[in-house]
Amino acid sequence: MDHFGYRQDQLFAEDVSLSLIAEEVGTPCYVYSRATLERHYRAFDSAFGDFPHSICYAVKANGNLAVLQVLERLGCGFDIVSGGELDRVLAAGGRAEQVVFSGVGKSTAEIRDALSRGVRILSVESEAELERISEVSQRLGKEAAVALRINPDVDPGTHPYIATGLRENKFGVPFVDAVRLYQKAHALKGIRPAGIACHIGSQLTQVTPFCDALEKVLDLVAELKTHGIELDHLDLGGGLGIRYADENPPSPGDYIEALLATLRRRGCQMHVTLEPGRSIVGNAGVLLTQVEYTKAGPDQDFAIVDAAMNDLLRPSLYQAWHEVVEVNRAGGRPTHRYDVVGPVCESGDWLARDRMLSIASGDFLAIRSSGAYGFVMSSNYNARPRPAEVMVDGESFHIVRERESTASLFAGEHLLP
Ligand SMILES: *Cc1c(COP(=O)(O)O)cnc(C)c1O
């Protein structure tokens, strides 16, 4: 459920008309709904009841400071995959103790920084990384809490680019190596094996793969116990899907209920962490764009809009489908079938294909479900300044990131003497 919808013929975010935002802030522009973010976080948090848990929002889905701030104020923690994301969390008012640090390629500097600031736990994705964390931690005179990220070899049934828990993926350590690596972690100085983690992919629309992965991880926890290694943190990652088109993903409540059933049946007493990204922020954002031109083609018509693949990469990268709707439906325009494309000089620069739209030059469109993996994946390709970001809160809205200027794009460049 989200707080975007029509009042008469006008699309609103909460109590603010999106036409008004497009006129005042300009386009392209991302618009987020605070009420939607809060609703989604609470759906996760409350489904756990009194089972000990943490919800650590995956910052990579949308790292805007105001998004992090809204979640932090509800008591949400954070999952980060870089030192830059740690800086963002702290700048938004978060604390390092609320942070779990994942990612396959943590640099020495990132590890040092994370440990000295006191992040709660590091997910370790290779033997070499385990050794590096041990060295850095000893130099700092610390004991780093770590979880090994296990690759459970479970097929999440999602796009190949966002499947992460298959044997051939670069993520995590193989299941068969886990016991040996935990024994090594146990023996290494500066390290405390505190937990176990897995994250099998993104945009999952079934609970079965999550439960299969959980069973495998719990088997491993039991086996480790027989070797005298007791873990108290269980991190099940993120990955719950959202509805872009006609998908029917489980609700956060149904998903957590399924996990809890397994956890209870297996008598698990561990503290459970989830790292949802997309399912918190995906349907809490839209990308507003303006139609520049319509153009008749031999086979289909084009709606050439002012947003492009540099602003929203998902269609080009994953052939992702986003709903595209008219912001004002009262225009009485003729309806045609369009490919919605941007101004970037690539044939791969399209946002939506084969859509029936009633539009003319100057009209605004909203590209829905753009809150996750939208702005964060944007670039300056074709010297395009990145869009503004706006947060709607009830009857008001706030610019939470200013539109870039072209001058800012080359501010760090130098001409030869
Ligand atoms: C990307 C990622 C997430 C978030 O995934 P979503 O599909 O956005 O929920 C969580 N944990 C880890 C380790 C990730 O890499």
194-218 mean pLDDT: 95
Provide the pLDDT for residue 159: 75
Measured distance CA(302)–CA(357) in Å, rounded: 11
Q: Is the pLDDT of residue 168 over 80?
A: no
Which of 274, 294, 313 is at the close of a domain? 274
* Whether pLDDT at 26 is above 90: yes
Give DSSP secondary structure letters for 357-368: EE--TT-EEEE-
| pLDDT tens per residue across span 376-417 | 999 999 999 999 999 999 999 999 999 999 999 999 999 999
Mean predicted confidence (pLDDT) in 172-184: 93
**CB-ligand 1 contact for 202 (6 Å cutoff):** yes
Centre of ligand 1 from the C-alpha of residue 247, in Å: 19
CB atoms within 10 A of CB 70: 22
- Chain segment 215-252, per-residue pLDDT in tens: 999 999 999 999 999 999 999 999 999 999 999 999 99
Output the pLDDT for position 299.
83
CB-based contacts of 263-266 (< 8 A; 24+ apart in sequence): 263/51, 263/214, 263/218, 266/215, 266/218
Residue 149, ligand 1, Cβ within 6 A: no
241 within some domain: yes
119 within 8 A of 142, measured Cβ to Cβ: no
Ligand 1 neighbourhood includes 278 CB (under 6 angstroms): yes
Residues 123 and 247 in one domain: yes
In this predicted structure, the answer to whether residue 170 has a pLDDT above a threshold of 90 is: no
How far apart are alpha carbons 56 and 70 in whole angstroms? 13
**Residue 19: predicted pLDDT:** 98
Which pLDDT value is given to residue 156?
80
Q: Does residue 233 share a domain with residue 301?
A: no
According to DSSP, residue 297 is labeled -
Cβ of 199 closer than 6 Å to ligand 1, yes or no, is: yes
CA–CA dist 284, 73 (Å, integer): 17
CATH at residue 150: 3.20.20.10
In-domain check, residue 399 = yes
Residue with CA at minimum distance from ligand 1 atom 3: 238
**Whether residue 267 is found in the same domain as residue 354:** no
Ligand 1 neighbour 371 (Cβ under 6 A): no
DSSP string, 232-252: -EEE----B---SSS--PPPH
Site to substitute for ligand 1 among 275, 278, 280, 377, most atoms within 8 A of C-beta: 275
The phi and psi torsions of 305 (rounded to 5 degrees) equal -115, 170
Whether 254 shows a pLDDT value over 70: the answer reads: yes
- 131 lies in some domain: yes
pLDDT digits (tens, 9 = 90+) for 95-143: 999 999 999 999 999 999 999 999 999 999 999 999 999 999 999 999 9
Mean pLDDT across the chain, nearest whole number? 96
Which residue range(s) make up the domain with 119? 103-274
With a 6 Å cutoff on the Cβ, whether 276 touches ligand 1 is yes
Domains in the chain, number: 2
pLDDT of residue 378: 98
**Is residue 250 assigned to a domain?**
yes
Same domain (yes/no): 190, 111: yes
Q: Which percentage of the chain shows pLDDT scores above 70?
A: 99
SS3 352: strand
User: Of 274, 296, 321, which residue constitutes the final position of a domain?
Assistant: 274
Last residue of a domain, one of 274, 290, 309: 274
> At 49, is the secondary structure helix, strand, or coil?
coil
C-alpha 164 – ligand 1 centre gap (Å): 10
Ligand 1 atom closest to the Cα of residue 149 is: 13
Q: How many angstroms does the Cα of residue 212 sit away from the middle of ligand 1?
A: 18
Task: Return the pLDDT at 331.
Answer: 83
Examine the domain organization and report whether 186 and 139 are in the same domain: yes
Euclidean distance between CA atoms 193 and 183, whole angstroms: 9
Q: Note whether 265 and 295 are same-domain residues.
A: no
pLDDT at 152 over 90: no
In a domain, 256, yes or no: yes
The verdict on pTM exceeding 0.95 is yes
Q: Does the structure show a pLDDT above 70 at 162?
A: no
247 and 323 part of one domain: no
Is residue 215 in some structural domain? yes
Q: Are residues 252 and 397 in the same domain?
A: no
Q: Has residue 12 been placed in a domain? A: yes
287 found inside a domain: yes
In angstroms, the CA 95 to CA 105 distance is 23
- The answer to whether residues 293 and 257 belong to one domain is no
CATH number of the domain at 19, please.
2.40.37.10
Q: Which ligand 1 atom minimizes the distance to the CA of 373?
A: 8
Q: Which atom of ligand 1 is nearest to the CA of 275?
A: 10
Residues 376, 360 share a domain: yes
Same domain, 194 and 299: no
Encode pLDDT of 368-377 as tens digits: 999 999 999 9
Residues 123 and 232 in one domain: yes
